[in-house]
Structure 1
Amino acid sequence: MAASVEILLPNGLRYNQPTGLFIDNQYIPGSGDDFTVLNPSLDEPIITLQGASEQDVNTAVKAARRAFEGTWSGFPALERGNLLLKLSELIHRDRELLASIDALDNGKPYSVALDVDINASCNVFKYYAGAADKICGQTIETTPVKLAYVLQEPMGVCGQIIPWNYPFMMLAWKVAPALACGNAVVLKPAEQTPLSALYFGKLVAEAGFPPGVVNIITGLGSVAGKVLAEHMDVDKIAFTGSTETGRAIMRAAASNLKNITLECGGKNPSLVFDDADLDQAVKWCHTGIMSNQGQVCISTSRIYVQESVYESFLEKFVEVTKDHRRIGDPFHDNTWQGPQISKSQYDKIMWYIDQGKQEGARLLHGGVKHGDTGYFIEPTIFADTTEDMKIVREEIFGPVAVISKFSTVEEVMAKANDSCYGLAAAIFTENIGKAHRVARKLQSGMVFVNSSSDSHFGIPFGGYKSSGIGRELGQYALQAYTQSKAVHVNLGQKL
């Protein structure tokens, strides 16, 4: 049995944090390299965990295969749904602890982790609990002497690799639909934020899932993640993270032509027209880039403002940024922005800020470290940017807005679509006809009209171009975790 360490959280909660791997409903020691999880608010160690070796990944995959082909494949769909509902109830019971854990190793404000991440995760598990017994095939009429029908069957063993920006919520987005469809799972959380995922193993066992249905392995992506993506006995790989890593996952998955779902990067535009409610546009654009420390794949970081309201927008945007809620300790009640996830991410963002200055963008606010400890960055605003600048072309994944002006719809559409990414976009206008016309022409998997960064468990989430392959959430995720089998029945035709 793997060890656990008691952790006293900054808000006074105590809990026992597992330090090993969760396989077959028990925690076992990992035989790979140990790694240390850091508190990004203080740049201090939280705990040292045991990483998974190639042998450990093999053990987890074998456990998932046994479960899939054994007890789990015989579970009635309604019973799968009941187990998912129980998980939702247990997550709700432990919501304050789970939010605290994510605030500790991710750095996001506790209030955001609780109100957004954990509450949303409860709803995701509830949604797929209700969907488990409603995954239906169809019959297809062909000729009077033939019956044809289609079965929707689970993929089998699903490898799932999740990012560090929404540690528990990304777990929910992947695990819940996979289990609803009858798959078994091997989950690999990000090495920066594995604590809530490891704790989740306790809830899986408590809910009553058969051993091996959910397995959780930790460690470096270059080791555990790579082995999982290449594994010949994994039927599907689902990944959320950077586009560069997504390409590597796709190459690795070619080992046995795994089914893949990739949710990757974005450099998402906001289009602010001169007929928009400017005050609302400013607030939504601010939330669209600065929330979650700017570490959001759908953050609308490229802001295009029609020239007649450009200067007014800039003035209001700077004021909202200056006056917005405090940057600092994630466990303080009034904190809105926490630290970046790691030193390497902090350094990357600061490098892009330096590039923006060197390329001639006008710095209106921020661009410097905030405070004396941790990886805090002042929210940063660049104006008068041009399409050839790195800060406009490349995903920064931090609290950095780049703003420029446009004159016509045609001009801004060309700029908005001139990207290798196509994840999300936002439109601000009071002209409903214009909103619909522009939405249809944007090369994005998601479009927000007079809002930003929306998601809902019943609505598909994903992008075009280099932003990924496939969709998560809603009924679309059920399609991603099932495969179609056509059955042709001869009712009497003789040769």
Structure 2
Amino acid sequence: MNDQQSGSTTSTLFGYAPAPESRSVVDIAPSYGLFIDGEFREAAGGKVFTTRSPADEEVLSEVAYGQADDVDAAVRAARAAFETWSALPGTERAKYLFRIARIVQERSRELAVLETLDNGKPIRETRDADLPLVAAHFFYYAGWADKLSYAGCGPDPRPLGVAAQVVPWNFPLLMLAWKIAPALAAGNTVVLKPAETTPLSALFFADICRQAGLPKGVVNIVTGDGATGAALVGHPDVHKVAFTGSTAVGKEIARTVAGTDKRLTLELGGKGANIVFEDAPLDQAVEGIVGGIFFNQGQVCCAGSRLLVQESVHDEVLDALKRRLRTLRVGDPLDKNTDVGAINSAEQLARITELAEAGEAEGAERWSPPCELPERGHWFAPTVFTGVGQAHRIAQEEIFGPVLSVLTFRTPEEAVAKANNTPYGLSAGIWTEKGSRILKLANQLRAGVVWANTFNKFDPTSPFGGYKESGYGREGGRHGLEAYLEHA
């Protein structure tokens, strides 16, 4: 604040005192088993692994490592439960989904702290974005459970059977909800494999299922690594596979499922373009750029990791963006004032670091705001690259971190060409005051989701999915039910 009366140019900056959320609201057990047929049990082979907090590398708990025998037991439990669960009237299945949604709301503070500890994302995001959306998805699909004949799959659609679901580490509980809620509403039973680095919220969800009185075997959770997921996807008694994760693993799964009668949906990587025209509301656009790439440390498949700015406003947008980035707070994810938390794992941090170094080596100019990173844990400063060419790795490959590549364009046609010049096709954003331009470009962009004058907004009623190497199939909305139903 400038002292106008004295003519002084000195400023007083008002800092934020630390405001950490209490860790005591969540009780993490020293060890967890597999959740099979309504009960927790040890892995058949007795193997375990540890899950750590990315922010300080503290061991949070020891978790059972499921192998082929455990996967088989979980699938058999789901298959046995399917006959009864699928025969229930939709109104009865809906009651369980409503109960789960309400319990998620009641335990939302506990679950938000748990997710932040295990994942590393700021508590503001888990509290204000993840948990409300988790509950909303269960509420939404509870409403569909007795209306399946109106879902567009024929007058008497039938559930498929046992659904194998493999979820990633960037939104562990939200991706669980995206998959389990429509599967159960449609009458399927589930075996879910959470990510190796973030298993805790799925195991807490198992307790929520018991609290809601969900029949045994309807939801089963097998923790482990990629080998566990491969055993689940390849199991002969699985009827449906749903996977969210990397494109490389998605291709492996597609090869495994090929030649079988298993239904498959894949939600894979992305390299979203955020397109800013000269007539855009620039202050609003800058906020959308920041939210598009630095939300969840950029570890978002639909992140706006490529910023396409019209040449005439390039300097103005970059100056405003840099001013905004200087205000971001990087640090303790449990601090309610934190904007950018920890990178999920050492492996992911190494990947981000490698690609950032490649950007510099290929001639792009790197900039980060001044920030002091914690000594322990996995951290990466918000980073912006300018002077990026379309052939640069940072413009083509998914970084999955807080790294923004800036390119320019002159005409709408050039913007579309550059936006589509990627192997991916998951998301895009358009910033302009002209509605006609938004509608025209949205039809030209090869992206499953196009946001207009906003970014990274989600709703359970809206379908989400991509083209090309971003996968196929849709989750959310009525479209999310189609993947779990077949025509009678």
Structure 1 counterpart SS, 2:271: coil
Structure 1 counterpart SS, 2:124: helix
Task: Say whether 1:19 aligns with 2:32.
Answer: yes
Assess if the C-alpha contact under 8 Å between 2:151 and 2:478 holds in 1.
no
Q: What is the match of residue 252 of structure 2?
A: 248
Distance in 1 between residues matched to 2:281 and 2:335, nearest whole Å? 32
Q: What is the match of residue 263 of structure 2?
A: 259
Assess if the C-alpha contact under 8 Å between 1:350 and 1:367 holds in 2.
no
Deviations 1:280-330 (A, max 9, x none): 111101110011110011101101111111111111111111112x11111
Root-mean-square deviation (Å)? 1.7
Q: Which runs of 5+ in 2 are unaligned?
A: 1-20
Instruction: Check 1:369–1:152 CA distance in 2 against 1; reply closer, same or farther (3 A cut).
Output: farther
Counterparts of residues 143-158 of structure 1 (less than 5 Å): 150-158=155-163
Assess if the C-alpha contact under 8 Å between 1:137 and 1:152 holds in 2.
no
Distance in 2 between residues matched to 1:445 and 1:333, nearest whole Å? 33
Distance in 2 between residues matched to 1:424 and 1:367, nearest whole Å? 30
Amino-acid identity (%):
43
Task: Say whether 1:195 aligns with 2:200.
Answer: yes
Out of 59, 72, 96, the residue aligned to residue 58 of structure 1 is 72
Assess if the C-alpha contact under 8 Å between 2:151 and 2:481 holds in 1.
no
Distance in 2 between residues matched to 1:373 and 1:239, nearest whole Å? 32
Out of 475, 478, 487, the residue aligned to residue 484 of structure 1 is 487
Distance in 1 between residues matched to 2:26 and 2:287, nearest whole Å? 37
Letter in 2 for 1:67: A
Distance in 2 between residues matched to 1:254 and 1:415, nearest whole Å? 33
Assess if the C-alpha contact under 8 Å between 1:36 and 1:47 holds in 2.
yes
Counterparts of residues 66-465 of structure 1 (less than 5 Å): 66-69=80-83, 71-136=84-149, 150-221=155-226, 223-254=227-258, 256-324=260-328, 326-365=329-368, 370-465=373-468
Assess if the C-alpha contact under 8 Å between 1:426 and 1:451 holds in 2.
yes
Assess if the C-alpha contact under 8 Å between 1:369 and 1:376 holds in 2.
no
Structure 1 counterpart SS, 2:443: helix
Distance in 2 between residues matched to 1:87 and 1:295, nearest whole Å? 27
Instruction: Check 1:255–1:215 CA distance in 2 against 1; reply closer, same or farther (3 A cut).
Output: farther
Letter in 2 for 1:188: K
Assess if the C-alpha contact under 8 Å between 1:159 and 1:229 holds in 2.
yes
Q: What is the match of residue 474 of structure 2?
A: 471
Structure 1 counterpart SS, 2:251: helix
Deviates more, 1:150-159 or 1:249-258: 249-258
Deviates more, 1:189-198 or 1:407-416: 407-416
Deviations 1:418-439 (A, max 9, x none): 1110000000111111111111
Distance in 1 between residues matched to 2:139 and 2:151, nearest whole Å? 25
**How far off is 1:11 after superposition?**
2.2
Distance in 1 between residues matched to 2:90 and 2:407, nearest whole Å? 52
Assess if the C-alpha contact under 8 Å between 2:26 and 2:113 holds in 1.
no
Deviations 1:219-246 (A, max 9, x none): 112x210001111000000000011111
Q: Which runs of 5+ in 1 are unaligned?
A: 1-8, 141-148, 486-495
Letter in 2 for 1:361: A
Letter in 2 for 1:358: A
**Aligned positions, number:** 466
Distance in 1 between residues matched to 2:178 and 2:435, nearest whole Å? 32
Assess if the C-alpha contact under 8 Å between 1:369 and 1:377 holds in 2.
no
Instruction: Check 1:185–1:405 CA distance in 2 against 1; reply closer, same or farther (3 A cut).
Output: same
Distance in 1 between residues matched to 2:486 and 2:369, nearest whole Å? 49
Letter in 1 for 2:113: S
Deviations 1:259-285 (A, max 9, x none): 001000000101111111111111101
Structure 2 counterpart SS, 1:133: coil
TM-score with structure 2 length normalisation? 0.93
Task: Say whether 1:30 aligns with 2:9.
Answer: no
Distance in 2 between residues matched to 1:371 and 1:207, nearest whole Å? 40
Assess if the C-alpha contact under 8 Å between 1:365 and 1:381 holds in 2.
yes
Assess if the C-alpha contact under 8 Å between 1:230 and 1:255 holds in 2.
no
Q: What is the match of residue 493 of structure 1?
A: none
TM-score with structure 1 length normalisation? 0.92
Deviations 1:200-219 (A, max 9, x none): 11111121111100000001
Distance in 1 between residues matched to 2:414 and 2:386, nearest whole Å? 18
